[in-house]
Amino acid sequence: MSELITYKKIDDHIALLTLNRTDAANAVSKALLDELNKNIKKIEHDSSIRCTIITAAGEKAFCAGADLKERKGMTEDQVIQAVQYIGETVSHVAKMKMPVIAALNGVAFGGGLELALACDIRIAVNNTKLGLTETSLAIIPGAGGTQRLTRLIGLGQAKRLIFTGKPVSTEEALSIGLVEQLTDQESLINEAIKTAKQIATNGPIALKQAKTAIDKGIQTDLETGLTIEHVCYKETIPTKDRLEGLNAFKEKRKPEYKGE
């Protein structure tokens, strides 16, 4: 039996996770979630990882959402538990200490898009579709979609996408801020790795604190957000990396950050 999630380490500092369930459009099953959580823990315990990329095998689907075939025989309580498990896993992605890039190689619907929304940056291929389609199945997004989509693209656009349940093209997704970059299928992983490498050259502690400041600050008012930023900034001051950055600038060379 092949792995449902494949893990690869690139250039010592980048983790590449690939959803590998192409026979089911990379739909989210319990087994896939188990493997994803296992790999998230593995990455979180590896201090050398400075950026993570999440993508999927094939060229048609990043993730078509929850595995509805698996859910068909469930009781109402089991369905609620299954959705909660998806939500918990998506939140684990959102809480990863380093920047996370979603490399969307194909359609992302329902829980698949919710997984992408938990990432920090989304790079998508041209000419595919993204959407929270749950209302067309008489349910609502239950793995963070109503909250993360609204925070990302604003109240009106989020309501339009969720209320209609209609997928949008990646071109429209770019225009409304749902994705940050478009590319072709052949260049997707290279573009994601290129961005990850640029991120990984920066101070690991600074990256962690910047992510914390942004993610915590967006949930509150400006004054509180500025306080959070200040607290996170202070965490970078006593680090060896900060001194390395100053010395490298003075000596006109590339800094060598160690996360210390």
Q: Which of 65, 110, 111, 245 is catalytic?
A: 111
Catalytic position from the list 25, 56, 66, 103: 66
Residue 231 · residue 212 · CB < 8 Å:
no
Q: Is 186 a catalytic residue?
A: no
Determine the residue type at 108: A
Is residue 134 part of the annotated active site? The answer reads yes
| 76 labelled catalytic | no
In angstroms, rounded to a whole number, what is the distance separating the alpha carbons of residues 158 and 152? 9
The residue from 56, 64, 112, 114 that is catalytic is: 114
- Say whether 59 is catalytic: no
176/131 Cα distance (integer angstroms): 13
Q: Which of 61, 134, 192, 245 is catalytic?
A: 134
- Residue numbers annotated as active site: 66, 111, 114, 134
